[in-house]
Amino acid sequence: MTASHPSRAVAITGLGVISAVGRGVASMDAALAAGRDGLGPLSLWDTDLAGEFPVGQYRGDLDADLAEVGLAPTRRSLARMSRSDKLALVACAEACAHAGLSPAALNRLGAGAFVGQSVCGTLASEAQYQRARAGHTSRRGMGAMFTHEGANTQDQLARHFHLGGPTLGFMTACSSGANAIGLAAARVAAGQCEVMLAGGADSLSRIAVYGFHSLQVVSPEGPRPFDANRKGMSVGEGAGFVVLEALAHARQRGATPLALLTGYGHSCDAHHLTAPHPQGAGAIAAMRGALAMAGLEPRDIGYINAHGTATLDNDRTEALAIASVFAQAPVPVSSVKRFFGHTLAAAGAIEAVVCARALQTETLPQNLGLQTPLPEAALDLVRSPRHAPGLRHVLSNSFGFGGNNAALLFSATEAAWNPS
């Protein structure tokens, strides 16, 4: 999976995304360029928090979206899909179309899907529970019995895209999507699969929204990553997927490699259930692991997409970790959490799409919401979209509860042949 072995280099040949800023890569690009976030009032259920704390909610009609991307589920099958399932299907359909791979082709290639998840189908389960508590015992809403568990998303992907390869779910909290991508790439690099779909999907739910509120890490003004006066995060929802393919196979079928996944690092510092290690030990290990796998040095990296949740602890410790690894080679850094909210298990996957687009467009996304840079950060924070000609390698961080840390390293396609 390193640049020195181009025959098993792993290419990204398709991108798909859905989030609070809209459906599709084009909508994401437009929002990043304009500095337009997707935060707004919560409307999926009635709550007193709706007008006080913005969320990153997708405002479109997911049932209509499924039909528009070529998936036309029956009424019965829709009843057995969670909101997370629908987000995953829509994003995955865009990625497959972008890669030029039909369900028949995916089936012929033995493709599989690795998916990062955390909320799964709990939004529907919560509604069903409330109906039962109120004494309603009709069959209405019983689809929640089928959609609650995360395996339903993999089943839906396998069914609609005719997947015959490995399908697995990963639940490492907010690093889930990044781990799904890193581990799927390892399958391709090892020659076990020619093509894998990988990403993450999560919907808003009561347990997620109220859970983060109970930790007192949610901001009434939205996230301001790496700001000295940051007050916390905003919960979001969405999905991001990439098509991972052996580079040689992609070239053989005439596909266009969009970027390479050259490095992946994962660590678990197990410091605390919700708090990061105060010196960022696990984050440092993950970043160094990704660099080592790619055969690169810190000076080779042209941009870091930070986890950057805008919580007090995360931004401070992540800044320390980045400064430790890149002490001799300062690198531009930004977090995109203000655009989408923190999409939980989908965050690392959506940000993988952001990184691939940064390499393609040679443009670094801004750290939206920043007013007064965190003084102890000592980072080159990107305050407006920055042109980066010759951008070749970018790193993306995703950190989860329990100390589960992941770092993905993406490279421009020519880097496979001319490593720095």
| Spatial distance between the Cα atoms of 28 and 35, rounded to a whole number of angstroms | 10
Tell me whether residue 393 is one of the annotated catalytic residues. no
The C-alpha R_g of the chain, in whole angstroms, comes to: 20
**pLDDT score for 277:** 66
Q: Which of 96, 342, 355, 393 is catalytic?
A: 342
Q: Is 397 helix (H, G, I), strand (E, B) or coil?
A: strand
Q: Which of 174, 266, 277, 355 is catalytic?
A: 174
The closest of 2, 24, 5 to 238, measured between CA atoms, is: 24
Tell me whether residue 136 is one of the annotated catalytic residues. no
The closest of 104, 103, 87 to 152, measured between CA atoms, is: 87
| Domains of the chain with CATH codes | 6-252 (3.40.47.10), 264-414 (3.40.47.10)
pTM above 0.85, yes or no: yes
| Spatial distance between the Cα atoms of 115 and 244, rounded to a whole number of angstroms | 13
**pLDDT score for 418:** 43
| Spatial distance between the Cα atoms of 24 and 58, rounded to a whole number of angstroms | 12
**pLDDT score for 184:** 98
Per-residue 3-state assignment (H helix, E strand, C coil) for 179-227: HHHHHHHHHHHCCCCCEEEEEEEECCCHHHHHHHHHCCCECCCCCCCCE
Residue 120 has what DSSP assignment? Answer: T
Q: Is 37 helix (H, G, I), strand (E, B) or coil?
A: coil
Tell me whether residue 307 is one of the annotated catalytic residues. yes
How would you label 91-127 residue by residue, b for 16+ Cβ within 10 Å and e otherwise? bbbbbbebbebebebbeebebbbbbbbbbbbbbbbbb
* Strand-pair partners of 267: 405
Quote the distance between the C-alpha of residue 143 and its chain's center.
Answer: 27
Q: Which of 148, 277, 307, 393 is catalytic?
A: 307
**pLDDT score for 401:** 65
Tokens describing residue 174: 């907010």
**pLDDT score for 273:** 60
**pLDDT score for 142:** 61
The closest of 372, 311, 371, 308 to 340, measured between CA atoms, is: 308
Q: Mean pLDDT for each consecutive 10-residue tract of the chain (420 residues)?
A: 56 98 98 98 92 95 95 84 96 98 97 95 84 70 72 93 95 94 97 97 96 94 96 97 97 96 91 65 94 96 97 93 91 98 97 98 97 88 96 96 88 60
